[in-house]
């Protein structure tokens, strides 16, 4: 037997040597540590970004977060883009009475809860908004960290980068502060991101804007970058929110007199009101700080084109837009634009009793004549209403462009909408909802003037305040800036006549009115002017809260409007609770340390 084995052994050993060699080679090859190491693929390591172009890219990323979206239709955090829309149309507009949720019942129900002031802490909208702002903050912090580790910067260059990053961080925190009031502070030095929300962060926001104000240059290489004056305006706004009027005046004064845009235009109101909402006239002299919108630059969607406003276009069988009749201005808002035919001034108290005629309950096929009374011309650049040219899209047909009139009224939004002539350039059809190249101005000069007016009024300088308000009203009164009738209603892109589309009348307050009527009147007039000028720009709710009039103002609105449309019937603003939104329950539950959340819920939401 041994010999049998020996005979076959010769053959066997050949194979064996072969196999074992292969095996050993494998073993050697595989045992190499490299075999089990996979490098980063298609991404960049943090240290690779510690170069000048890297830092600038991080800074651009920090700006980019202003849009609130991570992909087409998708907000940071993965939910819908409109939940973190930077114009705050839900949290500042719908909640403030500027607009209805719109669409029909059941569509985006969390907004309905917000509109009637019964928000739930578990509402995913708040969580999305929270994540979007902290993503912006994280990008600012990453920029600051990388910049300070990158060699070769001059002191001014570094200060410019840090200034922009801190300006943006200030913006994101400001947004959080006005939404949630009690929020944790995370900056470039924070190691543990589980921080309590019990310390007021106003001083930190101030510090960021102050640094930016002191360190940023007056002009920048790109129009979209924040400069010294944008920082000044935002710093003034911060002081105003804190009711630090003297400090606010100290910064508003130079902003108004010396301020200029990043592209070197001295701050001034543009002649035509609508130029603020026209993609072709973006970054003009009124644009203090704007979120840059570009259409048709992302084949994957409308991420750069006001993605968060994609729902907010006229909708219906004859509407040229794909989506979706949200953000419909309220009847109450429209009534504000009634002017006294004798004075051209607004009805500060009883605007609703001078209501502007609506087409509620009328089908588009039933004829309708628009209101013939005197109206502030800004209305028709703010609200699309039946029978009035809707940009160059034709006369607004009323019900045909409204998804559910009985639910949310007869009006359409307009400020972010592109024109028909530019639908292929400034309109963006790369997604299921439209995109637009109209910039959203976080702060525009009219806003600065009205904030300054408020500051002056609070400080007792009523004439200065009146002058600022009248600057804004005078611009509105410029007849060149009115909405005009079409030359041919069947060919709306064929140009407009010189006939105003409605009976427009707006006049400045006669000199001395504020002084004569006293500061309470002055403030009321300023507040009212803010609503007219900045309607549908996402400020309203935060303004009424800041003024301390949210309860009476919003409950009066709910009372009035709730009797006309069905969507907000029964809504009630509870003072002491609804001034701020609930801290997202998801975040409270995530930020637990030794069994206890480091985040405290806002009053009234427990």
Binding mask 34-53 for another protein (x = CB under 8 A): -xxxx-xxxxxxx-xx----
- Which of 154, 299, 350, 367 binds another protein (CB under 8 A)? It is 299
Q: Site residues for another protein, window 136-165 (CB under 8 A)?
A: 136-139, 142
Q: x/- string (CB under 8 A) for another protein, residues 558-577?
A: --------xx--x-x-x---
Q: How far is the CB of 99 from another protein (least distance, A)?
A: 17
* Residue linked to tokens 């009348």: 505
* Residue 66 or 462 having the CB closest to another protein: 66
Question: Alpha-carbon distance 502 to 507, whole Å?
Answer: 16
- 59 forms part of the interface with another protein (CB under 8 A): yes
Q: Which of 7, 23, 243, 495 binds another protein (CB under 8 A)?
A: 23
Q: Considering only residues 216, 230, 441, 586, which one is a binding residue for another protein as defined by CB under 8 A?
A: 586
- As a whole number of angstroms, the distance between CA 144 and CA 166 comes to 8
One of 181, 195, 485, 519 touching another protein (CB under 8 A): 195
Which of residues 59 and 522 has its CB atom nearest to another protein in the complex? 59
Phi-psi bin for 565: left (phi > 0), alpha (psi -120 to 50), beta?
beta
Beta carbon of residue 164, minimum distance to another protein (angstroms, whole number): 10
Q: Phi first, then psi: give them for residue 205, nearest 5 degrees.
A: -65, -45
End-to-end CA distance of the chain: 88
Q: Which letter, b or e, does each residue of 548-567 get, where b requires 16 or more Cβ atoms within 10 Å of its Cβ?
A: eebbebbbebbebbbebbeb
With CB under 8 A, what is the number of residues at the site for another protein? 135
Q: Which of residues 430-449 bind another protein (CB under 8 A)?
A: 430-432, 439
Per the CB < 8 A criterion, the answer to whether 240 and 191 are in contact is no
CB nearer to another protein: pick between 318 and 474: 318
Contact between 288 and another protein (CB under 8 A)?
Answer: no
Which residue carries 């009164």 as its tokens?
477
Q: How far apart are CA 455 and CA 471, in angstroms?
A: 16
Site for another protein in 173-192 (CB under 8 A): 184, 186
Interaction between residue 556 and another protein (CB under 8 A): no
Determine if 392 is a binding residue for another protein (CB under 8 A).
Answer: no
In the bound complex, what is the minimum distance in angstroms from residue 52's beta carbon to another protein? Answer: 13
| Residue 350 or 606 with smaller CB distance to another protein | 606
Answer whether 142's CB lies under 8 Å from 605's CB: no
Residue 352: partners with Cβ closer than 8 Å, 6 or more residues away? 332, 335, 560
Among 166, 225, 378, 540, interactor with another protein by CB under 8 A: 225
Q: Checking phi first, is residue 440 left (phi over 0); if not, alpha (psi -120 to 50) or beta?
A: beta
CB of 142 to another protein, least distance (A): 6
**Which one-letter DSSP state was computed for residue 94?**
I
Residue 105 CB neighbour total at 10 angstroms: 12
Minimum distance, C-beta of residue 347 to another protein, in the bound complex (Å): 29
293 is a contact residue toward another protein (CB under 8 A) = yes
* Residue 422 or 466 with smaller CB distance to another protein: 422
Of 106 and 151, nearer to another protein (C-beta) is: 106
DSSP 3-state of 346: strand
What DSSP designation does 260 have? B
Six token digits for residue 361: 């309950």
Closest CA relative to residue 571, chosen from 560, 584, 582, 585: 560
The pair of three-digit structure tokens given for residue 7, joined into one six-digit string: 């005979």
Work out whether 7 is an interface residue with another protein (CB under 8 A).
no
Out of 92, 102, 170, 224, the only residue in the binding site for another protein (CB under 8 A) is 224
Contacts of 262 (CB under 8 A, 6+ apart): 219, 220, 222, 223, 224, 225, 226, 227, 230
Among 103-111, 154-162, 475-483, 553-561, the segment contacting another protein (CB under 8 A) = 103-111
Rule CB under 8 A: is residue 2 a binding residue for another protein?
yes
Interatomic CA distance for residues 427 and 566, integer angstroms: 32
Tell whether residue 280 is a contact of another protein (CB under 8 A): no
Which of the residues 313 through 352 are near another protein (CB under 8 A)? 315-317, 320, 322-324
User: Which of 87, 123, 309, 380 contacts another protein by CB under 8 A?
Assistant: 123
Is residue 15 close enough to count as binding another protein by CB under 8 A? yes
User: Using CB under 8 A, which of 91, 407, 411, 440 touches another protein?
Assistant: 407
**124 lines the binding site for another protein (CB under 8 A):** yes
| Helix residue ranges, H only, 337-478 | 379-382, 405-408, 445-458, 462-477
When asked if residue 226 is in the footprint of another protein (CB under 8 A), the reply is no
Check binding of 104 to another protein (CB under 8 A).
Answer: yes
The pair of three-digit structure tokens given for residue 216, joined into one six-digit string: 């940023």
3-state secondary structure of 119: coil
Query: Binding residue for another protein (CB under 8 A) from 3, 189, 257, 490?
Result: 3
Sequence-separated (6 or more) residues with CB below 8 Å from residue 71: 300, 301, 303
Q: Which is nearer to another protein, 512 or 604 (CB)?
A: 604
Q: How far is the CB of 411 from another protein (least distance, A)?
A: 17
The Cα 513–Cα 178 span in angstroms is 32
């Amino acid at each position: 037997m041994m010999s049998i084995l020996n005979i076959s052994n010769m053959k066997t050993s050949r194979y064996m040597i072969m196999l074992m060699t292969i095996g050993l080679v494998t073993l050697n090859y595989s045992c190499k540590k490299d075999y089990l190491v996979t490098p980063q693929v298609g991404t960049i390591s943090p240290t690779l970004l510690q170069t000048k172009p890297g830092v600038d890219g991080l800074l651009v990323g920090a700006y980019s977060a202003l849009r609130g979206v991570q992909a087409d239709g998708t907000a940071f955090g993965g939910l819908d883009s409109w939940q973190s829309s930077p114009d705050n149309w839900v949290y500042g507009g719908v909640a403030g009475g500027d607009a209805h949720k719109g669409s029909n019942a059941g569509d985006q129900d969390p907004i309905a809860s917000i509109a009637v002031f019964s928000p739930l802490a578990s509402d995913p909208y708040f969580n999305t908004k929270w994540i979007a702002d902290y993503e912006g903050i994280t990008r600012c912090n990453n920029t600051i960290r990388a910049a300070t580790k990158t060699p070769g910067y001059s002191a001014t260059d570094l200060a410019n980068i840090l200034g922009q990053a801190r300006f943006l961080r200030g913006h994101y925190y400001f947004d959080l502060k006005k939404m949630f009031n009690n929020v944790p502070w995370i900056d470039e030095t924070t190691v543990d991101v589980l921080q309590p929300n019990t310390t007021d962060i106003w001083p930190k926001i101030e510090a960021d804007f102050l640094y930016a104000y002191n360190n940023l240059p007056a002009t920048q290489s790109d129009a979209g970058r924040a400069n010294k004056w944008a920082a000044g305006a935002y710093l003034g706004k911060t002081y105003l929110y804190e009711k630090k009027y003297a400090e606010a005046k100290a910064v508003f004064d130079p902003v108004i007199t010396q301020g200029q845009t990043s592209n070197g235009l001295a701050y001034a109101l543009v002649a035509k009101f609508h130029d603020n909402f026209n993609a072709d006239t973006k970054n003009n002299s009124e644009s203090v700080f704007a979120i840059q919108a570009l259409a048709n630059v992302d084949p994957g969607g409308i991420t750069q084109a006001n993605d968060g406003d994609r729902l907010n276009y006229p909708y219906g069988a004859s509407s040229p837009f794909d989506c979706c009749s949200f953000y419909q201005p309220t009847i109450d808002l429209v009534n504000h634009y009634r002017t006294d035919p004798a004075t051209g001034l607004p009805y500060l108290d009883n605007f609703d009793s001078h209501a502007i005629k609506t087409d509620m309950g009328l089908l588009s096929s039933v004829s309708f004549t628009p209101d013939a009374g005197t109206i502030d011309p800004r209305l028709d650049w703010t609200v699309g209403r039946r029978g009035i040219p809707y940009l160059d899209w034709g006369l607004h047909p009323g019900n045909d462009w409204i998804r559910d009139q009985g639910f949310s009224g007869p009006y359409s939004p307009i400020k972010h909408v592109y024109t028909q002539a530019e639908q292929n350039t400034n309109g963006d059809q790369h997604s299921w909802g439209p995109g637009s190249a109209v910039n959203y101005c976080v702060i525009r000069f009219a806003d600065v003037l009205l904030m300054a007016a408020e500051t002056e009024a609070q400080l007792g300088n009523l004439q200065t305040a009146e002058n600022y308000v009248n600057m804004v009203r005078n611009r509105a009164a410029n007849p060149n800036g009115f909405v005009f009738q079409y030359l041919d209603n069947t060919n709306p892109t064929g140009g407009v006549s010189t006939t105003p589309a409605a009976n427009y009348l707006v006049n400045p307050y006669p000199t001395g009115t504020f002084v004569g009527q006293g500061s309470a009147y002055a403030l009321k007039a300023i507040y009212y002017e803010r609503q007219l000028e900045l309607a549908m720009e996402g400020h309203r709710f935060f303004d009424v809260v800041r003024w301390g009039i949210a309860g009476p103002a919003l409950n009066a609105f709910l009372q009035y409007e709730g009797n006309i449309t069905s969507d907000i019937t029964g809504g009630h603003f509870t003072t002491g609770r609804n001034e701020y939104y609930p801290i997202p329950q998801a975040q409270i539950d995530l930020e637990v340390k030794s069994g206890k959340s480091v985040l405290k819920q806002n009053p009234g939401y427990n």
